[in-house]
């Protein structure tokens, strides 16, 4: 599992606060007032990231239209006999308008619904860098490759670099100053493109042949403003970077990338820029987008920007191969398209990897992570009073469940994903509607509520309150309908198969209890598994149970026979564990309480998640991302990943790579 965001970046995200200044007259006096009105018509249940992705798809549709009708940029030249139909310009104008509008209201929707996050901002600006590629590469279509009134594909490549640099430099500026001065060029280019497409659909493109130079002058002005803002930051001593070297680091990969591209097209054995200009523009733009996202990540987390870009290095190797071996035209075209597809794949893999890797950074330790049965929702609770709901596949924060006045230590969601049960230290358990966040019922207790769990049918639920198991009817939620007191310290409890409870007693015993009579049905224990029970969970199919103990052991139990199958011995006390729904793997996390870490001097590197093969009792992989112990771990129901929450206040959603999934399938 490739790590896209390291610990320093995550800690930087935790402290990050968005700061921007928009001085563009078009934005201030035209677009923002318009967007403020439009966003009011968007339902609050619509996630901001959905608007961001929608804007990207509209821009992509506009780009693909011109790829189909004018892939080689000849359709609008005087010599061409086949022109682009007017409806294409009209449709593309509508697409760009919708793309710009959705991009303008996504941030407003996030603030309106209180779901702003560093990851959402990263997605927004990352997609903006891709949309810029589509807009700029389509820009050449307006003029075509007419030898008299237009410019050559090579000089348009230089022009695209100028425009793209303006956008990229705004994020370099933020990396240095900490403030994003939104570039005038982005809104200007979007509005210009929307209007020009409509005009061309009606009047044609002849009157625009000399507009490129004017646009370039505007771009140069924007770049000058960026340089002035950086200079002012130095003078006012508001600069974030510690040294001049750190300040120029993000510029180095941009210059390197442009140098590689220029050398590629100049020394191409078959003049690739003339034969396939759109391909060259795409390769150039996507790699620049990748560089920009790395700069954005560094700026948001206040970490050092990377000097080298992997995709630029890859492109330089491809260009060197084609030049040195003087490949023929057909071979170079095939190699170039293969290069484009590989770059697209790895760029989107990086972008998706970022947005599925981190769901939350909090100042309080995470106590619980929990998937719903479908795996599309993830519930989390920390040492605060606000359980939180997320979309698991993109990390979008959907909202919080309000009402508690103390830390929420446990969560349970019913099988229909309609109700959430919470157990808290404020002597309360609460029942919420998942869709609306509405509080449905409150159960008042005399002591703190340590645990909660829905029955399989969700008609009943249990609460663990001061070593007593109280059973409630969800339809009444008044007084408990039954209470079990075993006269022993109970560490963990959950519903088991059919009419039973599974109870973990302090000392290591795990027992199956009849829910009605309270009598013991089965008991399971071993010599090593004899400490405080720190975790007790069932598999998604309820065929297995796993318990973890402070005695540095975990026990996998057959749910039907209630006999131990595998005992895992660990170097540190087990804090949490879970069972894979698709293979015979388990995840076991170890650690110690914060006070014990301080006194024992244990390295935080020991506090990770280890994946074990439960048949051979062998570790097969480990993850060391958290700074401190992991308090909760949960496999996703599809078995393609897992979530962890730790003492460092961070929730990770780890996606398994293809190598692990292949091994899991073979086993």
pLDDT tens track for 442-489: 999 999 999 999 999 999 999 999 999 999 999 887 788 999 999 999
Residue matched to tokens 């006390």:
573
**pLDDT (tens digit per residue) in 434-453:** 999 999 999 999 999 999 99
**Mean pLDDT, rounded, for 379-385:** 91
Q: Is residue 319 part of a domain?
A: yes
The yes-or-no verdict on residue 213 having pLDDT over 50 is no
Enter the tokens of residue 399: 């909202």
Enter the tokens of residue 235: 């003078």
Distance CA 288, CA 276 (A): 19
For residues 625 and 645, the answer to whether their CB atoms sit within 8 Å is no
Buried b vs exposed e over 590-618: b needs ≥16 C-beta within 10 Å?
Answer: bbbeeeebeeeebebeebbbbbbbbeeee
The yes-or-no verdict on residue 603 having pLDDT over 50 is no
Please report, to the nearest 10 degrees, the dihedral formed by the alpha carbons of residues 605, 611, 612, 613 taken in order: -150
The yes-or-no verdict on residue 56 having pLDDT over 50 is yes
The DSSP bridge partners found for residue 587 are 578, 611
pLDDT at 252: 93
pLDDT at 600: 45
The yes-or-no verdict on residue 4 having pLDDT over 80 is no
**Mean pLDDT, rounded, for 380-393:** 89
Distance CA 77, CA 153 (A): 13
Which residue segment(s) compose the domain that 203 sits in? 7-357
Q: How far is CA 347 from the centre of its chain?
A: 14
Q: Is residue 421 part of a domain?
A: no
> Which tops the pLDDT comparison, 425 or 214?
425
Q: Is residue 195 part of a domain?
A: yes
Torsion sign across C-alpha atoms 212, 213, 214, 217 = positive
Distance CA 257, CA 278 (A): 17
pLDDT at 332: 96
329-357 and 277-301 helices cross at what angle (nearest 10)?
20
For residues 460 and 474, the answer to whether their CB atoms sit within 8 Å is yes
**Mean pLDDT, rounded, for 631-644:** 93
The yes-or-no verdict on residue 282 having pLDDT over 90 is yes
| Complete DSSP assignment for 361-403 | E-SS-EEEEEE-TTSSEEEEEESSS--EEEETTT--EEEE---
> Which tops the pLDDT comparison, 283 or 550?
283
Least confident of 380-389, 395-404, 449-458: 395-404
Give the ranges where 70-183 is alpha helix by DSSP (H): 86-112, 118-143, 153-177
Q: What's the per-residue H, E or C state across 193-244? A: HHHHHHHHHHHCCHHHCCHHHHHHHHHHHHHHHHHHHHHHHHHCCCCCCCCH
Q: What is the CATH number of the domain that holds 321?
A: 1.20.120.1760
- Please state the length of the chain: 667
User: How would residue 507 be classed by pLDDT, with cut points 50, 70 and 90?
Assistant: confident
For residues 56 and 49, the answer to whether their CB atoms sit within 8 Å is no
Distance CA 494, CA 454 (A): 8
Torsion sign across C-alpha atoms 192, 198, 203, 205 = positive
pLDDT at 223: 56
- What phi, psi does 367 have (nearest 5°)? -105, -30
Most distant CA atoms of the chain, gap in Å: 95
The yes-or-no verdict on residue 241 having pLDDT over 80 is no
Q: How far is CA 340 from CA 29, 282, 315, 427, in A?
A: 40, 8, 9, 59
Q: Among 278, 297, 315, which Cα is nearest to 351's?
A: 297
Q: Is residue 46 part of a domain?
A: yes
The yes-or-no verdict on residue 166 having pLDDT over 90 is no
Q: How far is CA 449 from the centre of its chain?
A: 33
pLDDT at 624: 76
> Which tops the pLDDT comparison, 472 or 247?
472
Give the strand pairing for 650-655 and 641-646: antiparallel
pLDDT at 117: 67
For residues 322 and 269, the answer to whether their CB atoms sit within 8 Å is yes
Residue matched to tokens 């309000």:
402
Q: Is residue 49 part of a domain?
A: yes
Q: What's the per-residue H, E or C state across 570-617? A: CCCCEEEEEECCCCCEEEEEECCCHHHHHHHCCCHHHCCEEEEECCCC
Which residues, 6+ apart, have CB-to-CB distance to 248 below 8 Å?
none
**Mean pLDDT, rounded, for 60-68:** 95
Query: Residue 510: helix, strand or coil by DSSP?
Result: strand
pLDDT at 593: 54
- Please provide the distance, in angstroms rounded to a whole number, between the alpha carbons at the two ends of the chain: 19
> Which tops the pLDDT comparison, 414 or 664?
414
> Which tops the pLDDT comparison, 341 or 621?
341
State the chain's mean pLDDT as an integer.
84
The yes-or-no verdict on residue 358 having pLDDT over 70 is no
Most confident of 17-31, 80-94, 535-549: 535-549
Least confident of 71-85, 406-420, 539-553, 609-623: 71-85
pLDDT at 81: 63
User: How would residue 202 be classed by pLDDT, with cut points 50, 70 and 90?
Assistant: confident
Q: Where are the beta strands (DSSP E) in 265-305?
A: none
What Rg do the C-alpha atoms of the chain give, in angstroms?
Answer: 29
Q: Is residue 539 part of a domain?
A: no
**Mean pLDDT, rounded, for 504-509:** 90
Torsion sign across C-alpha atoms 478, 484, 488, 489 = negative
Give the ranges where 302-361 is alpha helix by DSSP (H): 310-324, 329-357
Q: Among 448, 458, 514, 508, which Cα is nearest to 484's?
A: 514
Query: Residue 191: helix, strand or coil by DSSP?
Result: helix
Q: Is residue 120 part of a domain?
A: yes
The DSSP bridge partners found for residue 21 are 181
633: left (phi over 0), alpha (psi -120 to 50) or beta: beta
User: How would residue 359 be classed by pLDDT, with cut points 50, 70 and 90?
Assistant: low
pLDDT at 605: 46
Q: How many domains in the chain?
A: 1
Distance CA 299, CA 172 (A): 8
**Mean pLDDT, rounded, for 359-379:** 85
Q: Is residue 251 part of a domain?
A: yes
């Amino acid at each position: 599992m490739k790590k896209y965001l390291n610990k320093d970046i995550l800690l930087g995200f935790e402290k990050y606060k968005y700061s921007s200044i928009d001085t563009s007259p078009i934005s201030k006096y035209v677009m923002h007032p318009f967007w403020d009105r439009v966003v009011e018509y968007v339902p609050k249940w619509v996630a901001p990231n959905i608007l961001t992705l929608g804007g990207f798809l509209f821009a992509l549709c506009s780009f693909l239209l011109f790829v189909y009708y004018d892939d080689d940029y000849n359709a609008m030249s005087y010599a061409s006999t086949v022109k682009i139909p007017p409806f294409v310009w009209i449709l593309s104008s509508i697409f760009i308008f919708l793309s710009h509008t959705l991009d303008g209201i996504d941030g407003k929707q996030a603030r309106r619904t209180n779901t702003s996050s560093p990851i959402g901002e990263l997605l927004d600006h990352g997609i903006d860098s891709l949309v810029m590629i589509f807009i700029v590469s389509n820009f050449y279509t307006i003029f075509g490759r007419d030898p008299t009134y237009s410019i050559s594909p090579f000089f348009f490549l230089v022009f695209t670099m100028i425009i793209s640099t303006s956008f990229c430099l705004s994020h370099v500026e933020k990396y240095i100053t900490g403030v994003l001065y939104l570039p005038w060029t982005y809104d200007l280019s979007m509005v210009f493109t929307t209007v020009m497409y409509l005009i061309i659909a009606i009047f044609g493109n002849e009157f625009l042949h000399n507009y490129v130079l004017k646009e370039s002058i505007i771009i140069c002005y924007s770049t000058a403003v960026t340089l002035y803002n950086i200079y002012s930051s130095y003078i006012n001593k508001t600069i974030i970077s510690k040294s001049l070297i750190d300040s120029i680091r993000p510029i180095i990969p941009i210059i390197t990338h442009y140098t590689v591209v220029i050398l590629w097209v100049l020394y191409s054995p078959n003049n690739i820029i003339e034969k396939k200009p759109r391909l060259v523009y795409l390769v150039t733009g996507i790699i620049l987008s990748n560089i920009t996202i790395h700069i954005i990540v560094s700026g948001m987390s206040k970490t050092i920007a990377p000097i080298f870009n992997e995709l630029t290095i890859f492109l330089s190797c491809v260009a060197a191969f084609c030049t040195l071996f003087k490949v023929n035209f057909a071979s170079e075209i095939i190699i170039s398209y293969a290069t484009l597809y590989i770059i697209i794949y790895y760029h989107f893999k990086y972008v998706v990897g970022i947005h599925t890797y981190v769901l939350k950074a909090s100042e309080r330790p995470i106590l619980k992570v929990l998937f719903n049965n479908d795996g599309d929702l993830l519930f989390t609770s920390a040492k605060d009073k606000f359980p939180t709901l997320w979309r698991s596949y993109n990390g979008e924060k959907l909202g919080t469940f309000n009402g508690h006045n103390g830390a929420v230590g446990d969560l349970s969601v019913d099988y229909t994903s309609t109700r959430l049960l919470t157990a808290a230290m404020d002597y309360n358990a609460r029942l919420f509607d998942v869709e609306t966040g509405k509080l449905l019922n409150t159960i008042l207790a005399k002591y703190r509520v340590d645990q909660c769990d829905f029955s399989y049918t969700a008609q009943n639920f249990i609460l663990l309150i001061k070593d007593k198991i109280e059973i409630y009817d969800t339809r009444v939620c008044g007084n408990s309908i039954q209470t079990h007191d075993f006269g022993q310290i109970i560490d963990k409890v959950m519903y088991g198969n059919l009419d039973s409870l599974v109870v973990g007693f302090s000392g290591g015993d795990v027992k199956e209890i009849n829910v009605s009579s309270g009598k013991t049905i089965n008991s399971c224990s071993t010599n090593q598994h004899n400490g405080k029970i720190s975790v007790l969970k069932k598999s998604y199919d309820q065929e297995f149970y796993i318990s973890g103990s402070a005695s540095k052991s975990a026990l996998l139990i057959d749910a039907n026979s209630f006999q131990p199958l595998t005992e895992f011995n660990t170097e540190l006390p087990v804090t949490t564990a879970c069972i894979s729904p698709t293979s015979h793997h388990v995840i076991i996390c170890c650690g110690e309480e914060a006070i014990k870490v301080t006194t024992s001097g244990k390295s935080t590197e020991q506090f990770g998640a280890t994946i074990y093969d439960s048949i051979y009792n062998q570790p097969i992989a480990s993850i060391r991302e958290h700074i401190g112990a992991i308090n909760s771990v949960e496999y996703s129901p599809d078995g393609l990943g897992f979530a962890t929450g730790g003492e460092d206040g961070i929730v990770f959603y780890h996606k398994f790579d293809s190598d692990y999934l292949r091994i899991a399938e073979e086993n």
